[in-house]
C-alpha cells in the first residue's frame, strides 16, 4: 500500500533557515537576490513567462532599516515583476518551488536564485515574514509566513496597496537579532553583498555603491590608476599588496576576474580561497577549487554569469562547466608566466624564489612551464647554484642525487673527483629532471647513488692492496660488528680520512633487519618477505691519500687500531648527517674514552 511522507513544516523551516546557511547575515543577500531576480523578470529576461509584465524601467531596490521605520522592522522594496495571488500560494508556500524554473524543472540561468528556499533565510532574524506584492494588472496581495510553518494569504488592506508592480518584504526582528536590522548593519551588509549590482540600491534613501568592480576595465581609466585601485582593493580585502595583478577570463562561464599574486610563500596544502560574485552579487568570500591546485600562489576575485551556486549560495557547484573554467583560468596564469619570462626575466626569477613549488608542480605536465623551470630556476649543486639548462651546457650529463642527505655526503667527494652533481632531493626536483630527459631526447640524466660513487674513486695498486691485506682483514672484523663493510680507495679531498656510503635501498634493508629482530614471530615472518636474497651493507671507505687513515692502517697495536677505526667510523657517520644507532653510540663512547685513556697513560709515563 503506497504511503506519502509526513512533513513537519516547523522542522523543515528550522533545518533550512538555521542549518543550511553559515550566518544569519546572509538574509540580506537572499533578499537582494529575490529583488534582482524580480527586476530581471520585469525587464523580460525570460520572455516565455514575463511578457505581460515586462518593463524598461530602471531597476530599483530600496531598503528601510529599523532605525528609519521606528519599530525596528526592515522593509525591502523592489520594482520587479511581482506575483499574483495564485503564484503566492504556489511559490511562497512551497519549499523548493521556484518561479525561476522552466516547465521541465531546469534552472533558468538568467536568475540568481534557483532553489525556492532563499526567503527562508529571513527566519534566522525574524519569526515572521510579510510579503506585499502586485503583478501588473492584478490586485495587491499580502502573504504572511511564520517560522512554525503556517502562513496566510489575503488581499492587501487599503493602506498597504502598491501603486506599481513589485514586491515589499517586511521583517520584524526576533529577540537578540535587533542589531542586524539597524541602519549601520544593513548598510554594511548591502554594501558587502550588493555594492556592484547593476541596479539602484538605497538604504534609508542613501545610495549604496562600491565604485568600479575589480573586474571592470573602464576605457577612460589610466592603466596606472587601475593598477593602484586593484592593489588597494587587494590590500583591503585579502590583506596583502600583490606581487602582480593578472586579468582572467573564461568565456564559456561568462567569467571576468583578477588574480592577485601573493608576495610571500603560500602553503600548498591549504586550499586557496577566492572571492566569487554571481551576476555581480557576492556569492562567496571563500570559494575553493575555482583555480587549479597548482595555482595556490594567487587569490582571485571574479564575477560569473553561468557557473551554478550550491543551494546555500555560499559555494560553486562542481560540474563540467566549473572544471573547464578552472582549466581556462589556469591557462591564463600560465600565459602570464610565459609573458613574464619573455618581458622581464629578472622579475620571473624573483617570483620563482617565492613560488617555485607551484610552477614546478605545473611543470610536471606542462612543457612550457618545464622550460621556465629549467631556464630560470637555480638548483643546488656541488659546484654552486645553477639552472638545469646551465648545468647541462657546462657538464653534459645531468647527474643528480634524489635524497638531500645523500647529496650532503657525496657532494664534496664528487666535486673533488670532478663530478658535478645536482641536489634533486627537494620536492618535484627528481621528477622534473626525469621529465626533462623524457621530453628532450638529447638530455642525458642519471642518478648518482652512494654505491655508484665508489666506481669513480681510485683503486689501490696490487702491491698496496697486498701490503695492507692483514690490516684490512682485522679492520673488516671490527666493522663487521657494526654491520658495515670496509673499502680502501684514494680520493680527494685528501683531508677527508673516511667516507660512509649508504644508499636508500641499503638503508631500507638495514632497518628491515633490525625491525625483524625486535618483532615477534608473526611480524618477523611478515617483514622477512620484504628482505632481499643478498644482504646489502653500508660501506666505510678509508682514504689512502689521507695521512691519518694510512697511519691507522699501519698501527701494529691491534687494539689501538680498532679504537681508532671506530672513531673514524663514527666521524664519517656524523659528517654524512646519519643517525646514530645504539651500537654506533657505544662505538663513539668506546673509541673516545679509549683514546683519552691511551693519551693519559702515555702522559703519565
pLDDT per residue over 32-82, tens digit each? 988 988 898 888 744 344 444 455 668 899 999 999 998 999 999 999 989
Q: What angle do CA 425, 428, 434 make, to 5 degrees?
A: 90
Give the number of other Cβ atoms within 10 Å of residue 206's Cβ: 10
Cβ neighbours of residue 327 closer than 8 Å, sequence gap 6 or more: 292
Does the domain at residues 223-332 carry the CATH identifier 3.30.230.80? yes
- Arithmetic mean of pLDDT, 516-540: 69
- Integer-rounded Cα Rg, in Å, for the chain is 37
Q: Which residues contact 379 (CB under 8 A, 6 or more apart)?
A: 385, 386, 387, 388, 391, 422, 423, 424, 429
Mark out the alpha helices in 91-220 (DSSP H runs). Answer: 183-194
Which whole number is the average pLDDT over 476-487?
90
Helix runs in 116-160, H state only = none
- The alpha carbon dihedral of 567, 573, 577, 580 has a sign of negative
Give the Cα separation of 187 and 67 in Å (integer): 12
What CATH number is given for 378-454 in this structure?
3.40.50
Residue 182 has pLDDT above 70, yes or no: yes
Least confident of 120-124, 199-203, 449-453: 449-453
Nearby residues of 85 by Cβ (< 8 Å), 6 or more positions away: 138, 139, 141, 153, 155
> What is the phi/psi pair of residue 279, to 5°?
50, 45
Domain residue limits, the chain:
9-207, 223-332, 378-454, 458-502+538-604
pLDDT, one tens digit per residue, over 241-294 is 999 999 999 999 999 999 999 999 988 888 889 999 998 999 889 898 999 989
- In 60-165, the DSSP E strands lie at 60-64, 74-78, 126-134, 141-146, 151-155
Summarised one tens digit per residue, pLDDT across range 101-154 is 343 333 444 444 433 456 778 888 898 999 999 999 999 999 998 887 788 999
Pick the CATH number of 458-502+538-604 from 1.20.120.790, 3.40.50.2300, 3.30.2350.10, 1.10.4160.10: 1.20.120.790
* Residue of 109 and 419 predicted with greater confidence: 419
**What is the rounded end-to-end Cα distance, in angstroms, of the chain?**
110
Q: For residues 59 and 47, is the Cβ–Cβ distance under 8 A?
A: no
Q: Mean per-residue pLDDT for 334-338?
A: 93
Peptide bond into 546 cis (omega under 30): no
Q: Give the pLDDT of residue 12.
A: 66
Q: Does domain 9-207 correspond to CATH entry 3.30.565.10?
A: yes
Assign 2 a pLDDT band (cuts: 50, 70, 90).
low
Distance CA 453, CA 442 (A): 24
In tens, the pLDDT along 168-178 reads 999 999 898 99
pLDDT bin (cut points 50, 70, 90) of residue 505 is: low
Provide the pLDDT for residue 48: 42
Q: Are 180 and 24 in contact (CB under 8 A)?
A: yes
Task: Check pLDDT > 80 for residue 395.
Answer: yes
Residue 418's CB is within 10 A of a number of other CB atoms, namely: 10
Res 45: pLDDT: 46
Q: For the range 378-382, what are the long-range contacts, defined as Cβ-Cβ under 8 Å and sequence gap of 24 or more? A: 379/422, 379/423, 379/424, 379/429, 380/407, 380/422, 380/423, 380/426, 381/420, 381/421, 381/422, 381/423, 382/407, 382/410, 382/411, 382/412, 382/414, 382/415, 382/419, 382/420, 382/421, 382/423
Q: Kindly report the average pLDDT of the chain as a whole number.
A: 85
Asked if residues 457 and 541 have their Cβ atoms less than 8 Å apart, the reply is yes
Cα–Cα distance, 227 to 214 (Å, whole number): 10
**Which of 493-507, 562-576, 587-601 has the weakest average pLDDT?**
493-507
Burial class (CB in 10 A: 0-12, 13-18, 19+), 341: buried
Amino acid at each position: 500500500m503506497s504511503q506519502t511522507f509526513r512533513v513537519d513544516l516547523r522542522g523543515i523551516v528550522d533545518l533550512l533557515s538555521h542549518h543550511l546557511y553559515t550566518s544569519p547575515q546572509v538574509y540580506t543577500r537572499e533578499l537582494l537576490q529575490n529583488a534582482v531576480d524580480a527586476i530581471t523578470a520585469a525587464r523580460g529576461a525570460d520572455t516565455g513567462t514575463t511578457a505581460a509584465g515586462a518593463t524598461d524601467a530602471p531597476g530599483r531596490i530600496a531598503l528601510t532599516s529599523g532605525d528609519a521605520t521606528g519599530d525596528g522592522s526592515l522593509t525591502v522594496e523592489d520594482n520587479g515583476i511581482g506575483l499574483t495571488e495564485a503564484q503566492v500560494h504556489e511559490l511562497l508556500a512551497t519549499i523548493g518551488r521556484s518561479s525561476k524554473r522552466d516547465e521541465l524543472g531546469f534552472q533558468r540561468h538568467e536568475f540568481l536564485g534557483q532553489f525556492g528556499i532563499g526567503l527562508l533565510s529571513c527566519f534566522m532574524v525574524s519569526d515572521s515574514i510579510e510579503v506585499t506584492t502586485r503583478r501588473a494588472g492584478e490586485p495587491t496581495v499580502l502573504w504572511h509566513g511564520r517560522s512554525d510553518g503556517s502562513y496566510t494569504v489575503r488581499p492587501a488592506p487599503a493602506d498597504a496597496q502598491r501603486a506599481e508592480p513589485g514586491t515589499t518584504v517586511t521583517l520584524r526582528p526576533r529577540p537578540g537579532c535587533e542589531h542586524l536590522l539597524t541602519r549601520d548593519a544593513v548598510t554594511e551588509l548591502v554594501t558587502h553583498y550588493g555594492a556592484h549590482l547593476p541596479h539602484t540600491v538605497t538604504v534609508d534613501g542613501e545610495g549604496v555603491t562600491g565604485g568600479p568592480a575589480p573586474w571592470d576595465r573602464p576605457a577612460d581609466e589610466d592603466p596606472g590608476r587601475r593598477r593602484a585601485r586593484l592593489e588597494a582593493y587587494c590590500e583591503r580585502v585579502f590583506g596583502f599588496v600583490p606581487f602582480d595583478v593578472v586579468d582572467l577570463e573564461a568565456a564559456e562561464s561568462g567569467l571576468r576576474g583578477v588574480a592577485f599574486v601573493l608576495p610571500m610563500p603560500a602553503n600548498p596544502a591549504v586550499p586557496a580561497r577566492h572571492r566569487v560574485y554571481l551576476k555581480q552579487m557576492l556569492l562567496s568570500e571563500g570559494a575553493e577549487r575555482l583555480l587549479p591546485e597548482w595555482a595556490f600562489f594567487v587569490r582571485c576575485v571574479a564575477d560569473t554569469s553561468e557557473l551554478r551556486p550550491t543551494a546555500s549560495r555560499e559555494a560553486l557547484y562542481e560540474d563540467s562547466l566549473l572544471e573547464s573554467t578552472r582549466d581556462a583560468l589556469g591557462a591564463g596564469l600560465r600565459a602570464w608566466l610565459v609573458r613574464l619570462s619573455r618581458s622581464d626575466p629578472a622579475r620571473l626569477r624573483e617570483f620563482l624564489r617565492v613560488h617555485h613549488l607551484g610552477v614546478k608542480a605545473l611543470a610536471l605536465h606542462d612543457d612550457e612551464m618545464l622550460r621556465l623551470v629549467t631556464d630560470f630556476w637555480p638548483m643546488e649543486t656541488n659546484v654552486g647554484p645553477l639552472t638545469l639548462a646551465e648545468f647541462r651546457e657546462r657538464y653534459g650529463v645531468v647527474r643528480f642525487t634524489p635524497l638531500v642527505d645523500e647529496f650532503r655526503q657525496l657532494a664534496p667527494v664528487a666535486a673533488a673527483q670532478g663530478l658535478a652533481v645536482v641536489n634533486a632531493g627537494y620536492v618535484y626536483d627528481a621528477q622534473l629532471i626525469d621529465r626533462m630527459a623524457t621530453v628532450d631526447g638529447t638530455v642525458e640524466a642519471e642518478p648518482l647513488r652512494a654505491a655508484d660513487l665508489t666506481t669513480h674513486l681510485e683503486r689501490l695498486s696490487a702491491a698496496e692492496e697486498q701490503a695492507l691485506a692483514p690490516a684490512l682483514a682485522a679492520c673488516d672484523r671490527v666493522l663487521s660488528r657494526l654491520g658495515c663493510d670496509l673499502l680502501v680507495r684514494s680520493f680527494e679531498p685528501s683531508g677527508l680520512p673516511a667516507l660512509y656510503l649508504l644508499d636508500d635501498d641499503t638503508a631500507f634493508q638495514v632497518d628491515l633487519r633490525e625491525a625483524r629482530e625486535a618483532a615477534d614471530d608473526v611480524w618477523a615472518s611478515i617483514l622477512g618477505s620484504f628482505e632481499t636474497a643478498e644482504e646489502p651493507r653500508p660501506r666505510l671507505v678509508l682514504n689512502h691519500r689521507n695521512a691519518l687513515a694510512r697511519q691507522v692502517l699501519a698501527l701494529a697495536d691491534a687494539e689501538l687500531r680498532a679504537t681508532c677505526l671506530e672513531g673514524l667510523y663514527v666521524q664519517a657517520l656524523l659528517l654524512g648527517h646519519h643517525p646514530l644507532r645504539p651500537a654506533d653510540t657505544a662505538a663513539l663512547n668506546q673509541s673516545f674514552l679509549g683514546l683519552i685513556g691511551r693519551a693519559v697513560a702515555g702522559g703519565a709515563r
